[in-house]
Amino acid sequence: MPTIQDVAKRAGVAPITVSRVINNSGYFSEETRERVEAAIAELGYVPNRLARGLRIKQTNTLALVLTDITNPFFTTLARGVEDAAGEAGFTVTFCNTDESEAKEQKYLEVFLQQQVDGILLVPAGSSPDSVHTAQKNGTPVVVIDRRVPDVSTDSVRCDSEAGAYKLVRLLQDLGHRRIAMLGGPEGISTADDRLAGYRRAMAEIGQTGNGDLVQSGSFTMSSGYEMVKTAVAKTPRPTAIFAANNFLAIGALRGLQDCGLRVPEDVALVGFDDLPPALTTFPFLTVAAQPAYDLAQIATKLLLARLAGEAPETCQEIILQTELIIRQSSGGSLIRNGGCDRSLE
Ligand code: RIB
């Protein structure tokens, strides 16, 4: 009985390409289509729908797709994945997409050709294509950190909307009303959800039209630097800044310093994601901390259970909560508990 590998060999392509031609999905040239179809006819290959649902072979390898490997949040995520995978006898191969959906799709095809057993994906945007490509190949995917619409797959992330809401409510409890937001790229779910949390908190104090206080940029320090300078140039000047991730907060801090503004004396500053203690000799930022390591462990163990046929039948959506850690950057009176500063919940 000819196999997909026989067809691939006869046509001179990778098995994943044969799968794409059969499913008419993903990229391949007309010439490739003709070669594959000729090989199928010559060999009398009959695609087995059940077999297509099975992986071509077990390689004990997981793929991890990250968007910014320079970000400590993602390196902590990678650490959690590698620890959980290693305990189960799996190796991890990873890539960095720089928030590019084109790079993401390219890497997905490479990983499928390498026949990884499962994929942990931080999506670069909101396209379902990568998840669909993997699933058509019979490779399970767990989406981590972010949401992707129109897919049925396991996912593990933090509640960005609630985390943002808690941070902005804290600023309001400290007396701030003109609170500027430095947001991430529209269309990325963590950016959209943090903006939604900000808007919910601002609506509770009767502020709905905060157009002049909200900016969207990229999850980078340079974007935080530029956006905060724009924010504090407005009159009346905002008295507080909410940065939608760690790099935006660091960039904002540098921008405020270059504008001659002190934190928190002149402007309060809060952000998403804590920075690893090893990187901060003096933890200063008030943050909504995401449990990146735990998130990674949960997602990896879910993927391994899916591979072993031990996961629940239905797709799992696991949402973890952030932890509000109050430090000097938000100003106001602090409740100190055990060396770290915590708000009264
Ligand atoms: O700093 C990383 C965090 O911000 C992640 O949640 C990522 O999605 C970005 O939004």
Contacts of 70 (CB under 8 A, 6+ apart): none
d(CA 141, CA 15): 19
Q: What pLDDT shows up at residue 15? A: 78
The conformation of residue 314, written as its DSSP 8-state character, comes to S
Same fold, 60-159+291-321 and 160-290+324-337: yes
Q: What pLDDT shows up at residue 48? A: 60
Average pLDDT of the segment spanning 230-234: 97
d(CA 259, CA 261): 5
pLDDT bracket for residue 226 (50, 70, 90):
very high
Instruction: Report in angstroms the alpha-carbon separations of 104 from 128, 185, 325.
Output: 11, 17, 33
| Closest CA to ligand 1's atom 4 | 245
- pLDDT of residue 342 exceeding 50, the answer is no
Average pLDDT score over the chain = 90
Q: What pLDDT shows up at residue 261? A: 97
- pLDDT of residue 1 exceeding 60, the answer is yes
- pLDDT of residue 59 exceeding 90, the answer is no
pLDDT bracket for residue 336 (50, 70, 90):
very low
**Is 180 strand, coil or helix?**
strand
Domain residue extents for the chain: 4-53, 60-159+291-321, 160-290+324-337
**190 CA closest ligand 1 atom index:** 10
**Is 85 strand, coil or helix?**
helix
Q: What pLDDT shows up at residue 117? A: 94
Q: What pLDDT shows up at residue 281? A: 67
**191 CA closest ligand 1 atom index:** 10
Instruction: State the residue for tokens 């002049």.
Output: 212
pLDDT bracket for residue 92 (50, 70, 90):
very high
| 145 Rama sector, left if φ>0, alpha if ψ -120 to 50, beta otherwise | left
| Closest CA to ligand 1's atom 1 | 245
CA 330 to chain centre: 26
Tokens of 345: 């919940």
**Cα of 273 to ligand 1 centre, how many Å?**
7
**Is 209 strand, coil or helix?**
coil
The full 3-state SS of 16-73, as one line of letters, equals HHHHHHHHCCCCCCHHHHHHHHHHHHHHCCCCCHHHHCCCCCCCCEEEEEECCCCCHH
| Closest CA to ligand 1's atom 10 | 190
Which ranges in 54-212 belong to alpha helices (H)? 72-87, 101-113, 129-136, 160-173, 189-203
Pocket test for ligand 1, best of 70, 71, 181 (most atoms within 8 A of CB): 71
**Cα of 190 to ligand 1 centre, how many Å?**
6
- pLDDT of residue 28 exceeding 80, the answer is no
Tokens of 115: 């026949």
State the amino acid at position 59 in one-letter form: T
pTM above the 0.75 mark?
A: yes
Pocket test for ligand 1, best of 73, 96, 159, 182 (most atoms within 8 A of CB): 73
Contacts of 260 (CB under 8 A, 6+ apart): none
- pLDDT of residue 43 exceeding 80, the answer is yes
Average pLDDT of the segment spanning 108-137: 93
For the 4-53 domain, the top CATH level (class) is: mainly alpha
**Cα of 34 to ligand 1 centre, how many Å?**
43
**Is 298 strand, coil or helix?**
helix
Average pLDDT of the segment spanning 308-324: 93
Cβ burial 293-304 (10 Å sphere, 16+ → b, else e): bebbbbbbbbbb
Tokens of 267: 């402007």
User: CB neighbours (10 Å) of residue 282?
Assistant: 6
43-47, 74-78, 212-216, 329-333: range with lowest mean pLDDT: 43-47
**Cα of 276 to ligand 1 centre, how many Å?**
14
What's the CATH fold of domain 60-159+291-321? Rossmann fold (3.40.50)
Q: What pLDDT shows up at residue 135? A: 92
What's the CATH fold of domain 160-290+324-337? Rossmann fold (3.40.50)
* Contact between 247 and 219 (Cβ < 8 Å): yes
Instruction: Report in angstroms the alpha-carbon separations of 196 from 184, 191, 231.
Output: 12, 9, 19
**71 CA closest ligand 1 atom index:** 1
pLDDT in tens, 243-260: 999 999 999 999 999 999
Length of the chain counted residue by residue: 345
Q: What pLDDT shows up at residue 57? A: 60
Q: What pLDDT shows up at residue 335? A: 41
Q: What pLDDT shows up at residue 341? A: 40
**160 CA closest ligand 1 atom index:** 6
Ligand 1 contacts (CB < 6 A) are 71, 73, 145-146, 184, 190, 219, 245-246, 272-273
Q: What pLDDT shows up at residue 26? A: 62
Q: What pLDDT shows up at residue 55? A: 46
The conformation of residue 210, written as its DSSP 8-state character, comes to -
**Cα of 164 to ligand 1 centre, how many Å?**
12
Phi and psi at 181, nearest 5°, equal: -115, 130
Instruction: State the residue for tokens 């390498």.
Output: 114
- pLDDT of residue 167 exceeding 80, the answer is yes
19-28, 67-76, 173-182: range with lowest mean pLDDT: 19-28
